[in-house]
Structure 1
Amino acid sequence: MDDRLYLLYLFDQNQWRRPLAIQALLKGKRTVSNLYAGLDYDLLPLYQLLPHLAASKFQQALARLIADGLLEQQTRAVRLTAAGTAIKEAHRATVFLPQHYSGFTFQHSREFSDRLFLATQVVSELQAHNRRYFPLEVSLLTQQRVKQWLRQQDISIVAERLQHEWELFLAILPTVQANYYSQFLLGHEVQRATTAQADQLAGWTTLTGELVRQDISHHLLSLVTAQATRFPLLAALWQPLASGPLSQSATQTINLLQQGNTLAAISRQRRVKLNTLKEHLLEAAILLPEFPFATYLSAPARQELATAFSDQPLADWRFDQLTNTALSFFEFRLYQIERRKSL
């Protein structure tokens, strides 16, 4: 399948969507505007799926699909045409679409993959009593964390147990994916394939290979987090990387609020602008399953917003419609998020 057609699965025939927001979401650019777009388009799980996505390639593919009549454009928004919907459905059974990827659940999955493959190599060479080898090229921090992990293990049985966990996981994968992913293993007298070599052998494009690798990685992490007793070595590798969906700064803000601090006090304490703290609240409102909307949106403000937008679809709401009110953009966006999450 032509890689350009993957874009069709990011758009909908019944909703105008902003391509720039989708592109930013795929690259992992975290702004409230991009996050809200992800929420509104039901694309939030794809956060950071393609961090190296070239803007020029994305725009060229988009332009071609518009020229071919598969997408239509209105100002800064795009939606599927009937022809685009037909092509999208025709390829659905054969195109690879991630099933396990969850960008906010496993934000550091790429770092985990580096640790996993390096740990596998180190354990294999250790079992062979070989100290003269070229380790996988990874960051210094990854090397240090793998050393720490190894020091926590029983060296006499770590190789056998790690092999067992790998076998458990590979047995769960579809055969094609298991054969593909196992090509990246390396160890004593075992060289790993390059992504280009593995993609070519599987008959996949570079983009498909990337999607498959990320989906497999997140599949593994979903198993490791849900069944840590079955994958204790892998769970120990992942645990230091595990985090919630919020950014580090937003997490700090929410923690301080939960301790009873006010926004004004946090602003002074952290030397952060109030507007930045409000953006942290909006991020939390979008990403957390539970959020105290009533705490930050008064009943009078809620009533005024409900009245202002009572006869409009959510997609048509605009803040400039509130110019004759004292309502802030923060209140507008918070109410918009609450309404969208209730649909």
Structure 2
Amino acid sequence: MDSNSLLLFFNQKQPRRIRVIENILTGRKTVSTLFWGMRYGILDQLGMFKSLDLNEDHDSLKQLLGLNLLKPTFKNQYLLTQTGLLEQNKIRANYYAPKSLNANFQYNVKRFRARFLLIVQIISEFSFHNVKYYPLQIDFKDAMMVKRWFHTYKHHQLIPKIKHLIESLLNQLPTQVAWQMASTFVGHDEAGQTYLQQSLALKKSVFEIKMMNFDLFCAMIHLIIKDNDPMMMGILNGLKRNLASDSAIKTFQLSEQESLDMVEKKRHIKMSTVQEHILEVAICTPKHKFPFHHFLNHQMMNRLASTYSGAIDDWDYRSLNGHSIDFFYFRLYQIFRSKL
């Protein structure tokens, strides 16, 4: 990513690793990545990009260090300098600020985007009575879903409803942002613009344009849910998800009924994997929906609370030396405190 975009991910008080940022953005869901993504406050950006140019990222990092906008701390972590903070504020003043990324916690936004772009193309060509065109290539299952959905509703005021949905979103947006969204669509005699073309037109980086577009499709999901029109809700069929893996969810559900030793036997996995699965679900679940006290009893909570205070990132597991508390419970308590 470009240096301006990268700078926005850093903080003056919390040392951060570029590898965690890259892993979050590209959707690599190790427990360590999820934990630190939560601590950095960027978990809602999980999997926003298919890939990143790691060479470009590291060139940008070198540039930021050379300009004294970032400074190294330890273990490949970096902090904003005072100069970096001032520069970050300047960048942020003109940078797109995502507002709807929380939809990424509940829905597969990439698949929704692919479906919606194909729907717009089909409806556009349908409105011109054109059947000879090359449809956008998307995942086969999603393409079949769109085909069934279109044939079900094409004679049920589909064109004005889609038009109203798109206009409802665009009318809420600044002119340049609305143009970016609209120019993404492919339709009759309209090829749509690439991210690069949009970035040149708006004089913004490709990274910022991609983030903007992802957020706008998140906003579209929110709008569909708010309107609660059965026809439009059908576009979301099969896209609801949990950020935690299916395997982790199965382990967690069994752990609510059985001891961890029994879960290990019944799931035929190592204890370390059982614990990682539970931590993954704890990170990806709202605090009020995760039973922390099922795993952290009152005595353990008191012991951890008396040992740790202050900045969670600075806690050291070795401070528990002599208390016979497994690292799993230490990390789970960090997650619990992070969600307060």
The TM-score with structure 2 as length reference comes to 0.90
SS, match of residue 7 in structure 2: helix
Partner in structure 1 of residue 28 of structure 2: 29
Contact kept? 2:170, 2:178, Cα under 8 Å: yes
Partner in structure 1 of residue 268 of structure 2: 271
Deviation per residue, 1:55-80 (Å, 9 max, x gap): 22222211221121111101222111
Which residue identity does 1:94 align to in structure 2? N
Contact kept? 2:5, 2:208, Cα under 8 Å: no
Deviation at 1:262, TM superposition (A): 4.3
Which residue identity does 2:240 align to in structure 1? A
CA distance in 1, matches of 2:262, 2:154: 48
Which residue identity does 2:149 align to in structure 1? W
In the TM superposition, what are the counterparts of 1:1-343 in structure 2 within 5 Å? 3-76=2-75, 77-102=77-102, 104-155=104-155, 157-229=157-229, 232-258=230-256, 260-289=257-286, 290=288, 291-309=290-308, 313-342=311-340
Deviation at 1:296, TM superposition (A): 0.3
Contact kept? 1:21, 1:34, Cα under 8 Å: yes
CA distance in 2, matches of 1:133, 1:62: 44
Deviation at 1:107, TM superposition (A): 4.6
SS, match of residue 149 in structure 2: helix
Which residue identity does 2:280 align to in structure 1? E
Gap change, CA 1:40 and 1:184, over 3 Å in 2: closer
Which residue identity does 1:92 align to in structure 2? R
Contact kept? 2:103, 2:222, Cα under 8 Å: no
Which residue identity does 1:270 align to in structure 2? R
* Larger deviation, residues 180-189 vs 207-216: 180-189
Gap change, CA 1:107 and 1:68, over 3 Å in 2: farther
CA distance in 1, matches of 2:161, 2:107: 26
Deviation per residue, 1:260-304 (Å, 9 max, x gap): 344444444433333222222212222212221111012232233
SS, match of residue 240 in structure 1: coil
* Larger deviation, residues 173-182 vs 193-202: 193-202
CA distance in 2, matches of 1:176, 1:313: 40
Deviation at 1:313, TM superposition (A): 4.0
Contact kept? 2:122, 2:187, Cα under 8 Å: yes
Deviation per residue, 1:124-176 (Å, 9 max, x gap): 33343332211112222221121122233253532232222222222222222
CA distance in 2, matches of 1:265, 1:175: 58
Contact kept? 1:70, 1:81, Cα under 8 Å: yes
Contact kept? 1:106, 1:221, Cα under 8 Å: no
SS, match of residue 78 in structure 1: strand
SS, match of residue 97 in structure 1: coil
Gap change, CA 1:119 and 1:282, over 3 Å in 2: same
Deviation at 1:53, TM superposition (A): 1.4
SS, match of residue 8 in structure 2: helix
Gap change, CA 1:160 and 1:107, over 3 Å in 2: closer
Contact kept? 2:65, 2:71, Cα under 8 Å: yes
Gap change, CA 1:233 and 1:279, over 3 Å in 2: same
SS, match of residue 130 in structure 1: coil
Deviation per residue, 1:94-122 (Å, 9 max, x gap): 12232222374255111111101111222
Contact kept? 2:124, 2:188, Cα under 8 Å: yes
Identity between Structure 1 and Structure 2 (%): 28
CA distance in 1, matches of 2:106, 2:301: 34
Gap change, CA 1:104 and 1:161, over 3 Å in 2: closer
CA distance in 1, matches of 2:74, 2:36: 16
- Calculate the aligned-residue CA RMSD, in Å: 2.3
Deviation at 1:32, TM superposition (A): 1.7
* Larger deviation, residues 300-309 vs 59-68: 300-309
The alignment of Structure 1 onto Structure 2 pairs a total of residues equal to 337
Gap change, CA 1:279 and 1:226, over 3 Å in 2: farther
CA distance in 2, matches of 1:199, 1:233: 34
Which residue identity does 2:275 align to in structure 1? K
CA distance in 1, matches of 2:64, 2:190: 43
Contact kept? 2:27, 2:48, Cα under 8 Å: yes
